[in-house]
């Protein structure tokens, strides 16, 4: 199957590598063409013009920064998109945006699946992403063998449902990172060794991927971006938009959003585990560990 992959960023680049390793023919496009050109050495076919990238593709995958960008790229690509082509958007967008993309493509004789991911750059490189898909059963069945090269895909409902599942994921991630930061700082301030505290509670009810990965990042004070503060803030705002549309109030999510909004004012490009830095700013004189901060 010939695939067009649009968006060669932190996540897109390793995802393309996984597709190539699985034997797919992949045309790559990026607004900054040099990023696409860099993948020619591993077998991708970089194309500078968006229309040329999608023209002969049976399947188009977009991995872009946000819904408005996806919308612009989709509208620009649509005149060149083959009839009945399947567009899989793996970006993180609002549910309403995904539903609008689905409606537009369906009206023009094309198909759409929203399939956002969780697992970060490490999961993308390992091909272990959690992929949450929304769309028609038959379209998902066509997409699943391709998605399998990048991770584990699950159909969670009609178009837009993948984005809802991703927002639920990000709700848990954003809140848990902040809770882990609070646990680390409390241990330090109360005289316990934060690293020993983390080791002691692992395997119990508090165990999580966040405690494993971001807890270690906090101990090492490694805030080099995997998932960015700015990206987490975008997700938090999308969660609140989905909650408003669904008619529910999420008080803890509102608090977490406020924390990331404050942090984004000074370090938007840091890893989202930099929530610890924001917490330390609220507690002058308290600091987890002695290692220097790594931000780049």
Which pLDDT does position 7 carry in this prediction? Answer: 97
Which pLDDT does position 227 carry in this prediction? Answer: 83
Is the confidence at residue 99, as pLDDT, over 90?
yes
Which pLDDT does position 119 carry in this prediction? Answer: 87
Helix-strand-coil split of the chain, %, nearest 5: 55, 15, 30
Residue-wise pLDDT for 220-264, tens only, equals 999 998 889 998 999 899 899 999 999 999 999 999 999 999 999
Residue-wise pLDDT for 156-212, tens only, equals 999 999 999 999 999 999 999 999 999 999 999 999 999 999 999 999 999 999 999
Catalytic-role residue among 35, 166, 209, 228: 166
- Active site annotation includes 35: no
Give the separation between CA 39 and CA 60, rounded to whole angstroms.
Answer: 17
Residue-wise pLDDT for 3-49, tens only, equals 999 999 989 999 999 999 999 999 999 999 999 999 999 999 999 99
- Judge whether 273 and 214 are in contact, CB under 8 Å: yes
Give the separation between CA 13 and CA 28, rounded to whole angstroms.
Answer: 10
- Judge whether 209 and 172 are in contact, CB under 8 Å: no
Which pLDDT does position 1 carry in this prediction? Answer: 76
Angle, nearest 10°, between helix axes 161-189 and 95-107? 160
60 DSSP β-pair partners: 4, 87
Q: What is the mean pLDDT of residues 89-117?
A: 96
Place of tokens 């954003």: 174
SS3 of residue 157 by DSSP: strand
Q: Residue 143, CB half-sphere, CA atoms under 13 Å: how many?
A: 31
pTM tops 0.95, yes or no:
no
- Residue 2 confidence class, pLDDT cut points 50, 70, 90: confident
Instruction: Look at residues 156, 145, 87 and name the one whose alpha carbon lies nearest to residue 118.
Output: 156
């Amino acid at each position: 199957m010939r695939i067009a992959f649009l968006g060669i960023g932190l996540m897109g680049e390793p995802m393309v590598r996984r597709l190539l390793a699985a034997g797919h023919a992949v045309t790559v496009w990026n607004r900054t063409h040099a990023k696409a050109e860099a993948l020619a050495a591993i077998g991708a076919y970089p194309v500078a013009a968006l229309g040329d990238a999608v023209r002969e593709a049976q399947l188009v995958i977009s991995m872009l920064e946000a819904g408005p960008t996806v919308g612009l790229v989709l509208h620009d690509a649509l005149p060149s998109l083959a009839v009945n082509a399947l567009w899989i958007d793996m970006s993180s967008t609002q549910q309403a945006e995904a539903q609008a993309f689905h409606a537009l493509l369906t009206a023009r004789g094309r198909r759409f699946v929203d399939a956002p991911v969780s697992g970060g750059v490490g999961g993308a490189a390992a091909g272990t992403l959690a992929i949450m898909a929304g769309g028609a059963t038959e379209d998902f069945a066509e997409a699943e063998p391709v998605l399998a090269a990048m991770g584990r895909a699950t159909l969670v409902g009609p178009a837009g449902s993948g984005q809802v599942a991703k927002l639920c994921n990000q709700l848990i991630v954003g809140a848990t990172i902040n809770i882990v930061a609070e646990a680390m700082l409390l241990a330090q301030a109360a005289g316990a060794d934060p690293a020993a505290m983390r080791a002691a509670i692992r395997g119990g009810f508090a165990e999580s991927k966040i405690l494993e990965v971001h807890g270690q990042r906090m101990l090492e004070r490694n805030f080099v971006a995997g998932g960015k503060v700015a990206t987490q803030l975008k997700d938090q705002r999308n969660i609140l938009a989905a909650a408003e549309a669904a008619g529910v109030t999420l008080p803890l999510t509102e608090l977490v959003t406020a924390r990331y909004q404050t942090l984004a004012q000074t370090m938007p490009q840091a890893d989202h585990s930099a929530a610890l830095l924001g917490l330390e700013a609220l507690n002058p004189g308290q600091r987890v560990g002695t290692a220097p901060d790594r931000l780049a």
